[in-house]
Each structure stands twice: as structure tokens, then as C-alpha cells.
Structure 1
């Protein structure tokens, strides 16, 4: 009896396997697949509409429907990416800038987006922000295009030289003994690096630029002016105040997707507190080693970058950004 039972059971199982295989073959055209697995549908799979195993022709797609994703740069090092810088003067013709960058291809692009007088060259939403006399909407479109096409975006922002903010917030500016605001030889007012109001302002700018697609913000004019006319009382020196401000900005954005960098033209910048890049502007090739030695011991520094309008071959082995257009 046991042998008969096992024989019948074997026949039934074999029959079930044959029937199951036949059903799978028959139902294959009706099976669809997605992220949740396989599903049975009363409609045939569009990839095999007649159940013959042939693949259906794909629908025609016009050029207007295609979205092209530009290849992202394979490195975040300026030395590897190469690139250019765009001045506020160049941004007066955003179309020319875009045309030149299309020829350049994906690379690092530094945009000067605020003047030392405090005018913004993009449509800033920061309270009280004064817009420059340019087509800021066109600059916005340029920024969006660069962000969408794989360019490594860097914004340069003057930090403590800002006439508009100083006039709107005189208590946060550097004064004369008379109480009036101190002005440099270019007619610009300067801000107090120790002012909480100033630091909040700089953080707001950096956060806004990050939301616009910028990967890095470079603060230029990041120093305490050397002038005996400034009436300022502090236990700390101007260099120490600058270092504290640099440390605060670096720490505030630590762990975010935004790199905080600084620009200088001398060898006294407190690079030890900088985890981003240090940009050196307008130096000749004979001074390359001087800056390399001055900042070579800054272990946290990501990279030393030269902003030059020189074809000196001594820059070829360094990270360099040159102007996009001839001024």
C-alpha cells in the first residue's frame, strides 16, 4: 500500500510540475515587473505584445523631449578639473559668458557674485540686498544652466568690504574716532569681523548660494584693514579677529555639502583654520614657491589655487583659474 501511495504521489507531483511549467510559458506575456517584483496583468507585457518573444518598437522621441545629462567632473580638485573665473564685469553680458563656457566644457567656474560696494549680481532674497545694475535674471539663468550641465560652481563673495551693508548697519562697520564710518582709498566701507550681525549676514549669503547649486564659496577681502584712522578697541589683534571669523564660518558649514574657502594676496592668512581652498590672486610666477612654502604646512587646507591672468609656464604645475574672457 505504501509503494502504491508513493507511486501515485510521484505521478501527481510530476503532473503538477508539467502543468506549472506550461502555465508559466502561457502566462509569461501577461507578467509585468517593477521595483516590487513580478505581477500578473490581464494585458500582455508591452515588451512582448504578441507573445512571440519579439520586442516591440520603441516610440519615437523628438529632440525636444530628450534631457541630456552632462558627465560630472571626475574630481573636485582644481588641479585636475581646470577652469576659469568670471568677474562682475563679465557678468554684464551673461550670454557671452555662457557661449564661452559652452566651448570650455565642464570644469571649475568661479563667479564673482557681489561687488565690494555690496551689490549682488544675482537675484538674492536676503533682506535688504541691493542688486547690481545688471540683468540679474539672466545671471540666474546662467547659474542654473551651469549647475545642470556638470560645472563645479564656486562663488566669490567679498566679506568685510561691503558699503551697502555698512550703511544699513553702521554699528557693524569700522568707525573713525569722530563716529563716522572709515572708508578705504576706493571709497568702500568695511565691516567688523567680530560683529555677530556681520557673521550672520555672511552665513546667509553662503547658505543661499549653496541652495543655488554652488559647491563652494570663496570669501575675499577677508581681513582687518591696516589703518591708524580706524577707531577700534579690542584685546585681540586684527589678525586674531580674522582668524576667529574664519574659524566660525568653517565650523558652521562643517559636515555640509558646501566648502568654505578664502582668498588672500599675502602669506599671513590663518590657513590653519581653513579646511577648504586658499585662493591667491594676481601674483607673478616668481612668487609661486613663496606662497607654496607659506601654506604648505597647513594640513587641513584642501588646495592652493592661483587666480592669474598670466601665461607663465611656472603656473602649469599648479592649480590655476584664469579669466574666461579678455577684459
Structure 2
């Protein structure tokens, strides 16, 4: 296994919070994001600039961006669905925006009220608006490894989407397993095909752990050259527009797994676990993490025989 370092983007403030049933106070969001910065992440997805009626949890996006610490060495990323969202992101001085796109028409109609390629046509004014600003644009392909309405997404669909992204000048693409339908062989196959046709593209993985396959899929992606991954502390998350979509792969699980394999993440795992435990106490129904259940491999215990000796003294 290669020891090349990877980059992990923390998405709990956006993907983790957007589907929470209870309202999270702005003060609490700011506190959590500032603690996330302290864990060593170099990129954090802090919010999404969507209409409050669509995602009420994100209605304070502008205020959150005003109040967080904003370290100079951390890229602040936000999701934008339309030109109004782009305007707000520019005004809030985010470093990078990610465009919302579904691989299948069924999911796109549910998520964006438009077919996939119609939605891509709507990206043109966003790209134009970002010109002359410092805001970078990344693309995404949601339900890339399986749509809950249509099943597996044909590779020709991915190739056509990437072709249209390239025409827009966007070559930084996040492949999202939105409903956790991916498997390692599929991840490898799709990545190989995409990288063969678009060798200059930078592909990242956004994995959900709906069926317990996320870390295996992350390793498969790493073996195919992917070095950028999204994750969410305590495993918070889930797509509001996908049935039974559970949370993202937990950051502590992803960091722990890669570090155990000798792959550097530059993330302070102990600080991540401390924050994850805090979030679990606040929102126990949302937490889903193996490390929160079992601890790190290095968390050793007193052997039973040693316990008996101690008890007999």
C-alpha cells in the first residue's frame, strides 16, 4: 500500500447538519466548526447556500460564515444550487463552491427539479459569475454509484457528464455514493474508466456508509489514485432527497483506518474523537461510528489474568 498522504474534507457542518430533525442554534454551529478547524483539516464544507424553504437547517449560512474563525490555511467550501447561491457564496468570501448535480434524471428531478443535463445548462451563469473572483468551482456527481430510483448508473452517463463539465472549464469532480450503493469493484471500474478518458481531472470521493461499505470503497478509491475524501464527524449526514440515506462515513473511522494502514492524514484523531463523542451526547440518534463504539486499535485493555492478580492483591 502506498504511503502517499491524503486530504480529508470535513462535511459535517453541511452534509451532517442539513438533515437533522431538530434546529441547531447558530452559536452551536460556529462552536463546532471552530473545533473542526482545530483538528487539522485543510478543507471544510461549512454550509450550503440553498433557499431556507428547501433546507431550513442552512438558513443561517451567511451568519455562520461571518462568525467562524476562518483560519488562513483552511479552504472554506460551500454547496451552491443556483445563481443566487453563487452570489451569496461570493459575498460570504468562501474559497470554493461545489455545484449540485445528480447522475440520474430521477434523482435530479427530485433534488433540483430538472433533468441532469438541464441542470448542467443552468451552471453556465454560475461559472460566468465566478470569473474575476477568487472563488474556485468544483463539480459533483451525486448517486454516482447507484440511484435509488433507477439503479446502477451507466458509465456512458458519467462520461457525458464529465464531457459537459470539461466544456464548462470544471475538472475537479466529486463522485458521491449518496445512498451507499457502491462496492469496491464498482468504484475501481468507474474510476479507471473516468481517469482513462479524463486524465487531467481531479476526482474525489464522497462516501456514505448506508450498507457498511464506505471504508472498503475508500480503500478501493485510494488504490485507484484518489487522495481526496469527504467524511463527517460522528457519521452525521444523509441526503434529504434519497430514501433511507444514512450518514457519511465517519471521519474518525476514515482517519483511523488510513492511519492504521500507514497512510498519513495530518488530522488529529484524538481531537476528532473528542468532538465526535460530544456530538454523540448532544444528538445520539444521529451518531454512527465504529470508533465511538469500539475505540481505536491502540486503546488496549488489561488482560483478564492481570485483572485477577490485581483483584487478589
The structure with the larger Rg is 1
Which TM-score applies when normalising by structure 1? 0.45
Name the one with the larger helix percent: 2
Which TM-score applies when normalising by structure 2? 0.47
